[in-house]
Amino acid sequence: MKLRMLLVATSMCAAMSVNAHTICTIVADANSGKTLLEQGDCAKRVTPASTFKIAISLMGYDSGILKDAHNPTFEYRQGDPDWLGAIWKQPTDPTRWIKYSVVWFSQRVTTSLGMTRFADYAKQFAFGNANVSGDSRHPDGLTHAWIDSSLEISPREQVSFLTKLVNRKLPVTDHAFAMTEQITEVTQLPDGWDIHGKTGAGFPANADGSDDRAHGWGWFVGWARREDKTLVFARLIQDDGVAGKGPAGLRARDAFLGEFPGLTTKLVGSNRG
């Protein structure tokens, strides 16, 4: 199952280039803090979209709202976001939340935290601009700040946050770190790299406040471990006037994973250890 995604990655790379351009690719060594690769505008801040689920996971486990990989299970309620249809209308636990990127599960966690504690976590994590107040389109920051609203982050800031996560330098419990790592595993590559991360997709606003779906952003952020090496990374793309096939975050992920073996050979070499 974990390798199935990699089998289509190379063809997805070519498909993505037709519909989107890469804003930034950045890779850093988590042990030294050294940036190994930075291409494009890696200071550009945009909505974190569903990549913020990594931060919400840390908050949820640290606060005790989330217990383990399968507890609690929350039920879909009428009126919850159901953008992906039946997939989002099922009972959802933390593992399923991350796998299917269920927005309303995130909102259950942040609502349980309350605005004061939620805002405090964002500031302590130094997550981008840490602004969870909301905006005119989405005034309820507690449930929407990270969805095309007030909270914004750059690829460089994503890497900074993730470096602190993998080095356990954020103000949360060991349990929060361990569970977040467990539920965010994406794939294990044949050359030994274990990839963790999260996709995200968001949209700029048109003049009338609607989503500009022709110029959507796609994120893939995370970390990769192999023996004693840990790399953190962020890839941000944007559609070029016509929405690409499938969510931009998934296209960003598949393209990055297709390039990853070549990148790591250049950046850290092919030898283990």
Active site residues: 50
Q: Which pLDDT value is given to residue 243?
A: 62
CB-based contact 76:92 (threshold 8 Å): yes
Q: Which pLDDT value is given to residue 19?
A: 81
Closest CA to 151 of 142, 159, 160: 142
Can you tell me the distance from the alpha carbon of 54 to that of 44, in angstroms, rounded to the nearest whole number?
Answer: 20
Q: Which pLDDT value is given to residue 18?
A: 52
Closest CA to 165 of 59, 64, 58: 58
Q: pLDDT tens-digit profile of 1-37?
A: 333 333 334 334 444 445 899 999 999 999 999 999 9
Q: Which pLDDT value is given to residue 161?
A: 98
- For the chain, which ranges sit under pLDDT 50? 1-17, 273
Can you tell me the distance from the alpha carbon of 224 to that of 126, in angstroms, rounded to the nearest whole number?
Answer: 22
Number of H helices, E strands in the chain: 10, 6
Q: pLDDT tens-digit profile of 259-273?
A: 999 999 999 876 554
Q: What is the pTM of this model?
A: 0.92
Can you tell me the distance from the alpha carbon of 191 to that of 188, in angstroms, rounded to the nearest whole number?
Answer: 8
Domains of the chain: 4-268 (3.40.710.10)
Q: Which pLDDT value is given to residue 80?
A: 96
Closest CA to 159 of 216, 219, 99, 249: 219
Q: Which pLDDT value is given to residue 270?
A: 61
